[in-house]
Structure 1
Amino acid sequence: MSNFSANSPQIPLVVDNYGDIRWVLDFRAHPVLQRLSYDCGISHLRNGNYLFGDKTTSQLYEVTALGELLNTWKMPGYTFHHEVVEKPDGNFLVNVNKTGSTHPDGSPTVEDVIIELSRTSGSVTHEWDLKQLLDENRHALEPDPVDWAHTNAVAYDPADNTIVVSARFQGVVKLGYDDRIVWILAPHKEWGSNRRGEDLNKFLLTPLDASGQPIAAADVALGTTNHASFEWNWYQHSPWRMPNGDWLLFDNGTHRNFDPNPGTYSRAVAYRIDPVRHTVQQVWTYGKDRGAETYSSIVSRVEFLPEVNHVRFCPGYQVPTATGTGGKIIEVDYATRQPVFELSLTTGNGFGFHRADATHFGQ
């Protein structure tokens, strides 16, 4: 995603494996979309069109590859931020702010609600309010009571009809349509109860070592130190369900182990979660050894490419490049952990992209 100028819309573009720009969607002259702000990016729908939410208008849009506007969905009572994804049934899961959302004392909150929007009727068919489900008073990572959760991504799990939400300042949580919590993937420090009186500690996952045994060290579970074969996710983005059921994340590493200083490395990491035993095992990771050269404190993306068994690791903000800073798109062989492709994008402000996705555009 980029901008032509400060007063123009953000634009999506397609770059091929040689670094050549193959496609740009330019909305500068469009009567509706000329001030478009995608926030997290644009996604490819199964019908071949493109879907995005706009922060400027807080609406969802479907367009063709030629930029023709086909459908628009309004969300009265909500404003869009970060991401919208298509479910297998065609409905949309959307990260939103809810108008009038407050803590019990009346103070405002933002970025702590997920909705499902019917593609056909445009109505909200379900709402998950994280203030009801998580501990809105937990500030182990950030002290901000307004943006206490900062949801930045949502994914659907067809295996059990649940959603997985990345809350940057809390962790990753799996939620059911009955509003039950399935598990919480996060350091164990300072979890309390939710508004329903549930002790959230019972949903936390116990970390396992490489041999599948529980890690006895309490400081590893708390997140204050790492184990040789296990590290928690810190300020993560982009939960991605792999074909075998493992969960892939972009672990930004910001304030890793509750260190107030900036992080020193980001990772693509795959976790194997047992929802019955409430355990989590780190089964794959890439990026730690590359250190600052692939560290991104915010944004960024991972995805799994099952047809070639590769992981795409995409740090997107102020990543060092040969000519400045920006983002990198790195494709890694899952079996060997060796990069097979790497592309750097340099930008004037160091903001390479929020999200980079594989696409079969033009094929």
Structure 2
Amino acid sequence: MNRPKAALLKTGKMARLVLCAAMLGAAVPTMALAIGGASGAKIDYEIQGQIGEVQINPYKIAPLTAIIKDGGYTISDASVTIVPKKGGQTISYRVAASRLKDYAGIPVFGLYADYTNTVNVEYVKHYGGKAEKIKESYTIYAPPLYSDPDGTIFQKGAFFRDVKVTKVDKEFADRLYFVNNLAEKSGNGTKVVWNNPVGGALEWNFAPQNFIIDTQGEVRWYMFANPIYDLESIYHGGVMMGFKQNDDGALSWGYGQRYAKYDIMGREIFNRRLPNGYNDFSHSMETMKNGHFLLRVGSANYKRPDGKNVRTVRDVILEVDANGNVVDDWRLFEILDSYRDVVLKVLDQGAVCLNIDASQAGHTLTADDLAKMDKNDHFGDIVGSGPGRNWAHVNSVDYDEEDDSIIISSRHQSAIIKIGRDKKVKWILGSPEGWKGDFVGKVLTPVDAKGAKIACENSKCEGDFDWTWTQHTAFKIDSKSKGDIIYVSAFDNGDARGMEQPALPSMKYSRAVIYKIDQKKMTVEQVWEYGKDRGYGWFSPVTSLTEYQPDKNSVFAYSATAGADFNVKSGAFTTAPNPFINEFKWGAKEPSVEIQIMNATGYQAMPFNIEKALSK
């Protein structure tokens, strides 16, 4: 029988489709399910346990997290335990009811990288008016660690994987430490500078390396920043810095022209551009109890008294509310003396914060050098006096709600300074050299434990007392402070100690230090220090942190750029730094914890509280 050509073609197509379907069905039994079929759309991927599927890295930026979805059931009373590797650290936590709703399931934190993890969960499943208590295990493979390459010799074998654990006392064995490190500069970044108006710190651009380690040195969380970060973008690049764990457990920080807040699973709470009048966030984002934030930024356009318009450098503190509206600012070039240059002239120009230039090691500036900057209109992220240059380099800001004031750490003034809401200086913790006018009476007087004045000559004092030098971080210890008596922690980096460079670089040292300040008597007592006896091996020329931890009545320190090897003949670093994590019982002379991160440029670190993040 002759059939129309069209019908034959149709029949042939149908036969081929049937044959292909049969072949696919034989090779991949679930293919028909994936495209529906007679029974309709179905889920055909693996489901473990009694509730729902497992989503690894659910928000794209935290690869060592997962969510075990609730499967449409109502679940409650959930808890999670990550079974450790042999001899490893157990991570176990209860999940708050609100978190179960946030994630539509059970959040899993602390997976080992490139490892098939066993995750034990307990929960109550509610369905059909019944409640059933469930205990089960899930098998979850987490991917390897990854960091964008920078092409340097320092990166080989690093990528935050080489961690040396020297000491962990039993009471600190459950610690998790959040580490904020930076990759080396690379050809992919540092290509853009502001020129309208001139100045600013836009060229300051390092890719992030943010991670959490346990006390065995294992990475248990890290940030895959690429979805929210672009090294080549003006408005999505910069240096991720100023991390804080908020009271709600989430992380806040800033980078370049942005400031952000995300929870530990990677869920975005906000990620905003700086308000238009401000630029170049770095170093510090402080969370206030009223939900506001203090950001260390620069002015996007300031007209100097000489009529020149500039972008200023690290000398403005901005307060924004929870919705990002500007509340107030502290324009430090109008509050302090931006032409106090005594510290600027003794800084080691080889290490000006993260602008480390080995070829300039040991070099300092002269009065002529500073004068030429003004004469030649040199502005930007350079050490120099006056607005539009890096005269202040504020690297931390803390809020004291007792008197509605801020406490700042100014590296390039080697001073910790308290300033009120009225923009008036309350006190200055630092060498009296170079301060003029009303500032002279604001410098605190050193005293001993009995309140007797310590003899000082210019920048050097008798006994154990010392000022801080190019310090990083200055935080009030709220639980130890009362009224006019406050305690302040700081990391004294130690460059230009005593307002001079030592005869040999190996004579430099850093300190973690705590001061007791009587704000009424205008005195300061040094009550604790660590690091002087460790000498050059613990010396961090830049970055670092010291901060009190109320949960264990301890002091945490991160000597973040210690231990870099330097070849004097070639004038180059032969290794990256090898930062130290230390934690001390209150008043202890030796640390209870020492962990060293090898081949890494560190910025800051802090203990991380998983209960705050997921159990509250």
Do the structures match in fold with TM over 0.5? yes
Relative to structure 2, which stretch is displaced further, 226-235 or 66-75? 66-75
Q: Which residue of 1 aligns with 2:331?
A: 129
> Which of 576, 580, 596 matches 1:328?
580
Q: Distance in 2 between matches of 1:305 and 1:287?
A: 19
Aligned length: 345
CA displacement at 1:336 relative to structure 2: 2.6
Q: Which moved more, 1:108-117 or 1:294-303?
A: 108-117
Deviations 1:185-206 (A, max 9, x none): 110001124xxxxx21111111
CA separation in 1, counterparts of 2:210 and 2:489?
24
Deviations 1:102-137 (A, max 9, x none): 5423464411110101112x2211111111211111
Q: Is 2:251 aligned against 1:50?
A: yes
SS in 1 for 2:603: coil
Who is 2:343 aligned against? 141
Partners in 2 of 1:335 and 1:62 — Cα distance? Answer: 34
**1:86-105 matched pairs, under 5 angstroms:** 86-101=287-302, 103-105=304-306
Residues 269-322 of structure 1: CA distance to partner in whole angstroms, max 9, x if unpaired? 11111111111111111111111121101100111122322211211114259x
* Paired amino acid for 1:200: F
Residue 408 of structure 2 corresponds to 165
Deviation at 1:65, TM superposition (A): 1.6
User: C-alpha separation between the residues in 1 aligned to 2:577 and 2:283?
Assistant: 23
| Contact persistence 1:294–1:319 (CA under 8 A) | yes
SS at match of 2:463: coil
Mapped to 2, the partners of 1:311 and 1:179 lie a distance apart of: 31
In 2, the alpha carbon distance for the partners of 1:22 and 1:4 equals: 23
Letter in 2 for 1:118: D
Name 1:179's counterpart in structure 2.
Answer: 423
SS at match of 1:296: coil
Shift of 1:73: 2.8
The one-letter amino acid paired with 1:113 is V
Task: Name segments (4+ residues, structure 1) moved above 6 Å.
Answer: none
CA apart distance, 1:90? 0.8
Identical aligned pairs, as a percentage?
30
Q: How does 1:47-86 map to 2 (within 5 A)?
A: 47-55=248-256, 58-74=257-273, 75-79=275-279, 80-86=281-287
Task: Give the CA deviation at 1:359.
Answer: 0.5
Distance of 2:434 and 2:500 partners within structure 1: 15
Q: Which has the larger radius of gyration?
A: 2
Higher percent of residues as helix: 2
**Comparing 303-312 and 127-136, the one that deviates more:** 303-312
Within the candidate set 468, 475, 487, 1:233 is matched to: 468
Matches within 5 A, 1:243-262: 243-245=479-481, 246-261=487-502, 262=505
8 Å CA contact retained: 1:25, 1:66: no
1:271 is aligned to 515
Looking at structure 1, the residues matched to 610 and 560 of structure 2 have their Cα atoms a distance apart, in angstroms, of: 22
Question: 5+ residue gaps in structure 2?
Answer: 1-180, 189-205, 232-236, 346-383, 482-486, 566-574
Equivalences for 1:1-40 in 2 at 5 Å? 1-3=181-183, 6=186, 7=188, 9-28=207-226, 30=227, 32-35=228-231, 36-40=237-241
Q: Is the 8 A contact 2:455 2:461 kept in 1?
A: no
| Alignment partner, residue 196 of structure 1 | none
In structure 2, the CA distance between the partners of 1:283 and 1:39, relative to structure 1 (3 Å rule), is same
Q: Which residue of 1 aligns with 2:357?
A: none
Q: Secondary structure at the match of 1:291?
A: helix
Q: Distance in 1 between matches of 2:532 and 2:303?
A: 39
Does the residue aligned with 1:42 lie in a helix, a strand or coil?
Answer: strand
Measured in 1, the distance between the counterparts of 2:450 and 2:213 equals 41
Q: Partners in 1 of 2:555 and 2:461 — Cα distance? A: 24
Q: Single out whichever of 74-83 and 103-112 deviates more from structure 2.
A: 103-112
Distance 1:103 1:185, change over 3 A: farther
**Contact 1:166/1:172, CA 8 A, preserved across alignment:** yes
Closer, same or farther: CA 287–357 of 1 in aligned 2, 3 Å: same
Distance 1:189 1:174, change over 3 A: same
The answer (yes or no) to whether the contact 1:94–1:116 under 8 Å persists in 2 is yes
Once the 2 structures are TM-superposed, how far is the Cα of residue 327 of structure 1 from its aligned partner? 0.6
1:39 deviates by 4.1
| Alpha carbons of structure 1 residues 280 and 26: separation in structure 2 relative to 1, 3 Å | same
Asked if 1:345 is matched to 2:597, the reply is yes
Q: Is the 8 A contact 2:249 2:609 kept in 1?
A: no
TM-score (norm 2): 0.53
Separation (CA, whole Å) in 2 of partners of 1:184 and 1:65: 37
CA distance in 2, matches of 1:202, 1:70: 44
